[in-house]
Chains A and B, each alone.
Chain A
């Protein structure tokens, strides 16, 4: 009896008004866009090193970059 009383007091009554909940969720989701960038690790560093190294090694870097479409 005591345990049952504790459980009844500890859990609030569930709200059954789903429309209000959905509306609030839609408004909250619509206003903020969260962009979560992946953690930068050794793979990103290696890729960056390869890219920079390639530009550094080629004989005509500017022409190379122009051909790549990045410059």
Chain B
């Protein structure tokens, strides 16, 4: 059974990630077109981001793990870094700097989840009545 606040949690996560996707779709066209014309750019399946973020936030609302929401987001970032590295490796596009994603992604995700997802969860009542 899906509770109302769990559905809200999914929508908050998916909505934020969907909004963030504007960055890749716009900046990539501009940045790669100007600075790396013709380069073979690793394209990771970031369209899955809203589903991942939504599901992860739903899990947060349902399980309420004993950690801060920032740390919960950082765990997702670590998983995403692992997934991206595995994907790049499998696609033959892996490069050495991709290993730094294991530091970069959890850090960025920690910031996003602490400063954006957490406050929005609070505002719409996801953090309200816990089971």
Contact = CB atoms under 8 A, between A and B. Distances in A.
A34 B123 CA distance: 6
A64 B100 contact: yes
B111 A66 contact: no
16 contacts: A33-B123, A33-B124, A34-B123, A36-B123, A38-B115, A47-B110, A54-B100, A62-B32, A64-B98, A64-B101, A67-B44, A68-B44, A68-B108, A69-B80, A70-B108, A71-B31
Given A44-B111, A54-B107, A63-B42, A71 B97 contact: no
B75 interface: no
Interface string B91-111: 000011110110111011011
B35 A62 contact: yes
Contacts of A38: 114-115, 118-119
Interface residues of A, number: 27
Interface of B: 20, 23-24, 27-28, 31-32, 35-36, 39, 41-44, 46, 49, 80, 84, 88, 95-98, 100-101, 103-105, 107-108, 110-111, 114-115, 118-120, 122-124
A63 B41 contact: yes
Interface of A: 33-38, 44, 47-48, 50-51, 54-55, 57-60, 62-71
Contact of B36 (A34, A55, A58, A63): A63
Contacts of B104: 50-51, 54-55, 64, 68
A14 to B, nearest CB: 26
Contact of A67 (B31, B42, B49): B42
B101 A68 contact: yes
Contacts of B119: 35-38
A24 to B, nearest CB: 18
A62 B42 CA distance: 11
